[in-house]
């Protein structure tokens, strides 16, 4: 392998590495973790560093997260071996044949930076990619009749969550949001509803939740999971203690 080819291979591997982090971050977010905590857990598992005992409780308390963690650790170990192999090859090649084509290397580096800038600066590219990953993750992690949850932000156990209504919860069937007592009994507030191409931001007492709605809710994560995705609690999670995400 020439020095230039090894350099290009390293850039490609770095690009794939960032994509893998993004994919697994979305997977963890669909289990109820916030984006910040999800990306920390993914990087920790991929690099086998920073995975402390207190943080690991969040992972081991859920069967889905445990399976994800195992998959990420296997991916990380395989990827680390490949990266180390490429670096060793570069060092050996540098010793045997130090010729390095700088114009080609600059082109490769430019393409790598262009990829990173486009991904960061063009929201629709990232949005489409994230949407595709969410669809794949939902099919793999949840049944067809479960309502996928995506934690957008959290505040000491109280979370802003996006819910796709695949099956209208029993408490909301044939009832308005006010009649369901979501806010009074469970502390859950419906903030926003996306219904097809219509956006409903003014949630009044007569508003209802319908099949295929996308809604944004705020409240205790445990209660949101209990109402909108009760099957989540049957995945082996520890329901006696709730760890804020």
Interval 60-108: pLDDT, tens = 767 778 888 889 989 988 888 888 888 787 777 767 766 667 787 788 7
* Strands in 58-213 per DSSP E: 149-155, 158-164, 189-195, 198-200
**148 Cβ contact partners less than 8 Å away, ≥ 6 residues apart:** 30, 134, 138, 142, 163, 164, 166, 229
Res. 217: pLDDT tops 90: yes
- Mean pLDDT computed over every residue of the chain: 80
The residue-averaged pLDDT of 201-205 equals 85
- Reported as a pLDDT band with limits 50, 70 and 90, residue 50 is low
Q: What are phi and psi for residue 163, nearest 5 degrees? A: -125, 125
Which residues is 217 bridged to in the sheet? 161, 190
Nearest of 228, 222, 154 to residue 190 by alpha carbon: 228
- More confident position, 143 or 31: 31
What is the pLDDT confidence band of residue 194, given thresholds at 50, 70 and 90? very high
Average confidence (pLDDT) over 10-19: 85
Angle at alpha carbon of residue 112, lines to 107 and 113, rounded to 5°: 100
CA pair distance 100, 174, nearest whole angstrom:
70
Residue 218 phi/psi, 5-degree rounding, is -130, 135
Residues 6+ apart with CB under 8 A from 208: 172, 175, 176, 177
What is the distance between the alpha carbons of residues 142 and 161, in angstroms, rounded to a whole number? 17
Has residue 5 got a pLDDT over 70? yes
- Residue 241: pLDDT over 60: no
Q: Extract the runs of DSSP E, i.e. beta strands, from the chain.
A: 149-155, 158-164, 189-195, 198-200, 214-220
Looking at the predicted structure, is the pLDDT value of residue 238 above 60? no
State the average pLDDT over residues 197-219.
90
What is the predicted pLDDT for the residue at 91?
Answer: 77
The answer to whether 192 and 200 are in contact (CB under 8 A) is yes
pLDDT at position 200: 92
DSSP label at residue 46: H
Residue 235 has pLDDT above 70, yes or no: no
SS3 label, residue 203: coil
């Amino acid at each position: 392998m020439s020095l230039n080819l090894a350099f290009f291979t390293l850039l490609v591997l770095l690009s794939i590495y960032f994509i893998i982090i993004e994919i697994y971050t979305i997977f963890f977010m669909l289990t109820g973790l916030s984006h910040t905590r999800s990306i920390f857990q993914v990087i920790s598992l991929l690099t086998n560093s920073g995975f402390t005992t207190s943080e690991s409780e969040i992972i081991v308390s859920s069967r889905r997260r445990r399976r994800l963690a195992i998959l990420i650790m296997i991916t990380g170990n395989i990827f680390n071996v490949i990266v180390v192999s490429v670096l060793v090859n570069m060092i050996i090649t540098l010793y045997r044949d130090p010729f390095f084509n700088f114009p080609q290397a600059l082109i490769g580096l430019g393409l790598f930076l262009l990829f990173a800038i486009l991904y960061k600066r063009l929201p629709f590219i990232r949005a489409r990619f994230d949407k595709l990953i969410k669809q794949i993750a939902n099919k793999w992690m949840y049944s067809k009749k479960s309502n996928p949850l995506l934690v957008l932000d959290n505040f000491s156990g109280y979370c802003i969550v996006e819910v796709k209504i695949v099956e209208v919860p029993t408490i909301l069937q044939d009832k308005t949001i006010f009649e369901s007592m979501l806010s009074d009994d469970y502390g859950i507030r419906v903030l926003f509803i996306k219904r097809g191409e219509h956006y409903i931001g003014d949630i009044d007492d007569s508003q209802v939740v319908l099949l295929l709605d996308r809604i944004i809710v705020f409240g205790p994560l445990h209660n949101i999971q209990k109402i909108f995705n009760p099957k989540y609690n049957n995945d082996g999670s520890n329901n006696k203690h709730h760890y804020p995400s």
